[in-house]
């Protein structure tokens, strides 16, 4: 038989596993609880991230769809503005009023149908973000509008006048689409090429005075843009256009100079039946 002290020692040794088991359960429960909280927080952060990237994807998809529609509107503006330019080139001293009236009507149709659609697409948005998408069409429209204005008034249609006509197309509550200076100047640079072609046609029709007027006008544009082009932010396109513009100026000057110096030799090319006619007003030298 065991004595009392030995029995008490054995009883304590038998109770220790139970106490250790209770302690393990407590520690395990305490350890599991933080892991559950961390898991909930991680799931919440993951859902927030997914929602954020889902919103980004929706925004980018909508922006790309809008860009495609803007590019399509820009192509339509370019195509129909070219038609206006071709119409203006049919002008002559016999049908000037008729041709210009039709060209102005076609230009108004471009404004009401195609530019109005572009304004609707860009209304209420940061339209400057999509400038690259619609810039070619706007440049072509500026070229057509300034060409019509010059043939009618002999003056340059400025940027404020063009932008004033755009304010009536959009929703008054939204920021109106405004043509920026860069697109206007690029369109103006293209105008000089069309004026060069018109000057050649006018010389062949015997309208030397009008050709000289075109020459002075194109020379002034080139002189002014030569001062502005180096300071432009995106001057790569303008640099190329300036080289083409200089060639146009030289072609017009050479043609006018040749007619003045050798005017009588140009008679067969002017469609005149009077061989005594001279562009200089001097009788032909025999």
Q: What's the 3-state SS for 134-200?
A: HHHHHHHHHHHHHHHHHHHHCCCCCHHHHHHHHCCCCCCCCCCCCCCHHHHHHHHHHHHHHHHHHHH
CA 213/CA 39 separation, integer angstroms: 81
Residue 286's pLDDT band (boundaries 50, 70, 90)? very low
Q: How far apart are the two ends of the chain, measured CA to CA in Å?
A: 162
Q: Which two tokens stand for residue 140?
A: 């072509």
- Summarised one tens digit per residue, pLDDT across range 222-238 is 999 988 877 776 557 88
pTM: 0.73
Among candidates 65, 173, 178, which has minimal Cα distance to 119?
Answer: 178
**For residue 29, is pLDDT > 90?**
no
Among candidates 197, 183, 200, 184, which has minimal Cα distance to 244?
Answer: 197
- Summarised one tens digit per residue, pLDDT across range 85-94 is 999 999 888 8
Q: Which helix (H) or strand (E) holds 22?
A: helix 4-88
CA 105/CA 95 separation, integer angstroms: 16
What's the pLDDT score for residue 222? Answer: 93
**For residue 270, is pLDDT > 50?**
no
- Name every residue whose Cβ is closer than 8 Å to that of residue 50 and which is 6 or more positions away in sequence: none
Exposure string (b/e) for 203-231, b if CB count within 10 Å is 16 or more? bebbbbebbbbbbebbeebbeebeeebee
Highest mean pLDDT among 39-43, 62-66, 76-80, 263-267: 76-80
Instruction: For the chain, give the percent of residues with pLDDT over 90.
Output: 38
- Summarised one tens digit per residue, pLDDT across range 174-186 is 777 788 888 999 9
């Amino acid at each position: 038989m065991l004595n009392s002290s030995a029995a008490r020692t054995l009883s304590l040794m038998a109770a220790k596993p139970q106490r250790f088991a209770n302690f393990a359960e407590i520690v395990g429960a305490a350890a599991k609880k933080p892991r559950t909280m961390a898991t909930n927080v991680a799931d919440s952060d993951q859902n927030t991230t997914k929602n954020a990237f889902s919103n980004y994807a929706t925004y980018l998809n909508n922006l790309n769809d809008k860009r495609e529609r803007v590019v399509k509107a820009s192509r339509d503006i370019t195509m129909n503005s070219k038609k206006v330019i071709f119409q203006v080139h049919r002008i002559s001293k016999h049908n000037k009023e008729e041709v210009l009236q039709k060209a102005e009507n076609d230009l108004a149709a471009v404004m009401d149908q195609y530019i109005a659609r572009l304004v609707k697409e860009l209304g209420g948005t940061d339209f400057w973000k999509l400038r690259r998408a619609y810039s070619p069409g706007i440049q072509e429209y500026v070229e057509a509008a300034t060409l019509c204005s010059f043939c009618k008034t002999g003056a340059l249609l400025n940027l404020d006048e063009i932008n004033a006509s755009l304010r009536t197309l959009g929703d008054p509550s939204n920021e109106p689409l405004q043509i920026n200076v860069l697109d206007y100047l690029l369109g103006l640079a293209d105008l000089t090429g069309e004026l060069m072609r018109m000057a050649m046609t006018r010389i062949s029709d015997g309208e030397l005075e009008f050709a000289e007027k075109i020459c002075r006008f194109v020379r002034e544009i080139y002189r002014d843009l030569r001062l502005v082009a180096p300071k432009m932010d995106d001057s790569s396109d303008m640099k190329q256009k300036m080289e083409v513009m200089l060639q146009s100026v030289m072609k017009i000057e050479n043609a006018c100079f040749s007619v003045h110096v050798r005017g009588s030799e140009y008679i067969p090319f002017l469609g005149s039946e009077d061989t005594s006619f001279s562009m200089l007003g001097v009788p032909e030298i025999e």
